[in-house]
């Protein structure tokens, strides 16, 4: 596996690969790989001739400085894990923003709810860096995880709106045996918080099982989930919500797929999870 740090070098390599007729798969990440990342890489290696993984902690998508400063990183660990799976290229840039950077990508409405409501500017940073990476890598296929469902919805909208000729593939959430969704932030949980962390998924599952086809009990289920989680010491609910999928609008009688989603704080660590339900 090659590690490329310079944008122009990667662009030149991709141009050659495309001229050779290679199908290029791309997995954008912020590093510190877990099984969720590895599953995306396996999918790309299986589907494509060449797999490129980016490893870049994007500063513009963090709404809290402490979260950025404590985000885990271990490039040698990541390199070994990606190489073992057959990844061809790791793009590991030092910085992708010029000092006078002034251009941003914003997706309207999709970012007004869920994580976008409580993390101002987050999805502007996400969409901008993914747009930049798409322009550099120029892949045929890109792979995202369902755990960040709102992010996937935003990127899917951006692909359509900006006429990218890129297929987006969504991977199911990879979980620990107790149900906790895998996340690079999980390593920052205290032992006490780690024991309690699966509660978010447990409450989302209850909503999934109990919600009526006409959605008439939607609000009651949301309030019950919030109340039961907030009764646990050391946990603060950011949101529990039910939206239509993938447009993230308010669900109604015409909705065919729901996104049952939540976010909680355990100390300073923020965890998210979701279930996509077909009606």
Main-chain dihedrals φ then ψ at residue 256, nearest 5 degrees:
-110, -25
Structural contact between residues 225 and 203, judged by C-beta atoms closer than 8 angstroms: yes
Instruction: Show the CA angle centred on residue 174, arms to residues 117 and 135, nearest 5°.
Output: 60
DSSP-derived secondary structure letter, 185: G
Residue 97 CB-half CA count within 13 A: 16
Q: Which of 34, 37, 140, 257 is catalytic?
A: 37
Collapsed DSSP state (helix, strand, coil) of residue 243 = strand
- Residue 238, CA distances (Å) to 19, 67, 129 in order: 48, 16, 25
Element (H, E) at 119: none
**What distances in angstroms separate CA 193 from CA 67, 147, 164, 202, one per listed residue?**
17, 20, 41, 15
Q: Is 176 in contact with 197 (CB distance < 8 Å)? A: no
- The span from the CA of 160 to the CA of 85, in Å, is 30
140 a catalytic residue:
no
| Residues involved in catalysis | 37
């Amino acid at each position: 596996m090659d590690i490329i740090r310079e944008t122009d070098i990667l662009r030149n390599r991709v141009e050659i690969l495309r001229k050779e007729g290679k199908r290029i798969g791309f997995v954008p990440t912020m590093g510190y790989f877990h099984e969720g990342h590895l599953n995306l890489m396996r999918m790309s290696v299986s589907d494509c001739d060449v797999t490129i993984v980016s490893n870049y902690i994007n500063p513009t998508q963090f709404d809290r400085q402490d979260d950025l400063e404590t985000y885990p990183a271990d490039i040698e660990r990541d390199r070994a894990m990606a190489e073992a799976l057959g990844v061809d290229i790791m793009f590991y840039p030092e910085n992708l923003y010029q000092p006078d950077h002034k251009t941003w990508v914003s997706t309207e409405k999709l970012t007004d709810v869920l994580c976008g409501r409580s993390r101002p500017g987050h999805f502007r940073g996400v969409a901008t860096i993914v747009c930049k990476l798409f322009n550099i890598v120029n892949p045929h296929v890109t792979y995202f995880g369902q755990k960040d469902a709102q992010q996937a919805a935003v990127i899917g909208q951006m692909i359509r709106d900006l006429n990218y000729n890129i297929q987006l593939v969504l991977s199911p959430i990879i979980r620990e045996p107790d149900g906790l969704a895998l996340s690079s932030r999980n390593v920052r949980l205290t032992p006490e918080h780690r024991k309690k962390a699966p509660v978010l998924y447990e409450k989302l599952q209850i909503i999934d099982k109990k919600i009526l086809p006409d959605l008439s009990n939607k609000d009651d289920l949301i309030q019950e989930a919030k109340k039961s989680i907030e009764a646990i010491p050391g946990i603060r609910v950011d949101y529990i919500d039910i939206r239509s999928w993938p447009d993230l609008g308010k669900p109604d009688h015409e909705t065919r797929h729901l996104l049952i989603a939540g976010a909680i704080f355990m100390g300073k660590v923020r965890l998210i999870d979701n279930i996509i339900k077909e009606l």
